[in-house]
Amino acid sequence: RLPIVADEIYGDLTYGDAEFVPLAIVSAEMGRRVPVIAASGLGKMFLVPGWRVGWIVFHDSVGGALRDVRDGARRLAQIALGASRLAQ
Report pLDDT digits (tens) over 61-88. Answer: 767 778 888 888 888 777 755 655 555 5
Q: Are 56 and 38 in contact (CB under 8 A)?
A: yes
* CB count in 10 Å sphere of residue 60: 20
Mean pLDDT of 39-44: 85
Question: 23, 20, 73, 26: which is closest to 44 by C-alpha?
Answer: 20
Q: How far apart are alpha carbons 30 and 7 in whole angstroms?
A: 20
pTM above 0.85, yes or no: no
Q: Which residues 6+ apart lie within 8 Å of 83 measured at CB?
A: 52, 53
